[in-house]
Structure 1
Amino acid sequence: MNRRRLIIPPVSLPVLLVMGVLFVIIFAFFSGVVMAAFEKLGIPPDVAYALFIFALVGSFLNIPIAEETSYEPVVRVREVRFFGIAYPVPFFDWEERRIIIAINVGGAIVPISVAVYEIFRMVYFSRWTLLSNTLLAVLIASFFSHAVARPVRGLGIAMPLFLPPLMAMFLGWLLGGSNPNAVAYISGTLGVLIGADLMNWNRIKNLGAPMVSIGGAGTFDGIFLAGIIAVLLV
């Protein structure tokens, strides 16, 4: 009798149904949260839903934008013969590593596009005071995100999830004037992008990962969530 081991054990129908229901509930809740944040920014509901779907699908797409090269010490072994006897001798050598830096469509391009759109709206309506306050908020949020971000070898840039949104929320209250939602979203989104990713660009090549994606966690990445959470808290 031929016995085969299943790598993945079979799942019963009730478990599949429960998992399906949980997925629908989580999807509906998360989409509602994102759409509520976009609507607070003045984005129409149909456009907000289209942005959410595009961000969700785009979470699986990474666009390479750069390639970095680093050299790391490695231990190698070579044979040394002495009177005809081979001896393994370890020695240190340098190995070249190439790291591809990419940008995630859903986790970075979509929220950045929304932030740039809000900035263009300020320019279009000649709201120069609000624009200058927004740029100041982005500067403060960037240095704050850089201070709390930590490069994690083999993974990428890690940071606490709720600290950047809280800072963006306070900046929205402090500098937002008549439109704190826009200031909170822009400073939260661009603050994480600039402070956590761009300001740590020189450290990315030393992370030891074959590819590092900006916004790589998609709709669950800090760039995407920072602005969303900040707007909901304002």
Structure 2
Amino acid sequence: MSRRFLFPALRWPFFLLVALFFVLVFVLFSGAVMLAFHRLGIPPQVAVTLFTFALVGSFINIPIAEEVTYEPVIRVHSAGLFGLLYSVPYFDWEERKTVIAINVGGALVPVSVVIYEFIRMIEYSQYGLLVNTLLAVAVASLFSNAVARPVRGLGIAMPSLFPPLMAVLLGWAFGDGNPTVVAYVSGTLGVLIGADLMNWGKMKKLGAPMVSIGGAGTFDGIFLAGVIAVLLV
């Protein structure tokens, strides 16, 4: 006997409200990202292209390395004695392979924005801002590495609000007249370098078949850290 938890008359209005909610969330999120790109001086057409690549690229992981580890495991084999079978446990080594990949939307797109900002600084001879930005990236990387923790079977985790708040403070401290750029670059590269690259050696011990840098796409810490920091500065 089947049970129905929703009255037929309420089913379509309910799903319609859910659909409208997700549309509203997407519109607000995309508007926030576009506003952040605008504050970074990115032309609207380029910003739309980057956001599109970020969304589509969220589903694309590019393998860049493969790490192999050997872990002790307990196996059982059967042994016979006087016609009786016994289960005998023994230690063995099992090979585990971990593929390390980089996500297009969650890592490559924000890094491309960082490269664009570096090129602009050099083009406009803003060498003081460039040096300050690199110092902010170094500080952000050290702090990100200090709070990041490997989570077995998942990846490298860190408090979600820490990177953008740290980037905002660094933007104010090292801004040199342009705290927005410093906040974005330090927030993005701070997470990428401090949380991911500086923990490269620990990734192979996470027990996951694949670890993706920026693997949550547009909702990953690398992407969101810079965007949120720009909006808060």
Match of 2:72 in 1: 73
Q: Is 1:84 the counterpart of 2:79 in the alignment?
A: no
Q: Which amino acid aligns with 1:142?
A: S
Where do 1:139-178 residues align within 5 Å?
A: 139-178=138-177
Query: Shift in Å at residue 79 of structure 1?
Result: 1.3
Match of 2:36 in 1: 37
Query: Shift in Å at residue 4 of structure 1?
Result: 8.9
Match of 1:124 in 2: 123
Looking at structure 2, the residues matched to 5 and 79 of structure 1 have their Cα atoms a distance apart, in angstroms, of 49
TM-score by length of 2: 0.94
Q: Which amino acid aligns with 2:127?
A: W
Unaligned 5+ segments in structure 1 are none
Unaligned 5+ segments in structure 2 are none
Q: Which amino acid aligns with 1:157?
A: I
Looking at structure 2, the residues matched to 143 and 5 of structure 1 have their Cα atoms a distance apart, in angstroms, of 56
Match of 1:212 in 2: 211
Match of 1:52 in 2: 51
Q: How many residues are treated as equivalent by the alignment?
A: 229
Looking at structure 1, the residues matched to 154 and 64 of structure 2 have their Cα atoms a distance apart, in angstroms, of 18
Looking at structure 2, the residues matched to 47 and 4 of structure 1 have their Cα atoms a distance apart, in angstroms, of 52
Looking at structure 2, the residues matched to 147 and 153 of structure 1 have their Cα atoms a distance apart, in angstroms, of 18
Match of 2:185 in 1: 186
Query: Shift in Å at residue 12 of structure 1?
Result: 2.5
RMSD (Å), alpha carbons: 1.7
Distance 1:173 1:213, change over 3 A: same
**Percent of aligned pairs with the same residue?**
67
Deviations 1:193-225 (A, max 9, x none): 000000000000000000000000001100000
Looking at structure 2, the residues matched to 82 and 164 of structure 1 have their Cα atoms a distance apart, in angstroms, of 62
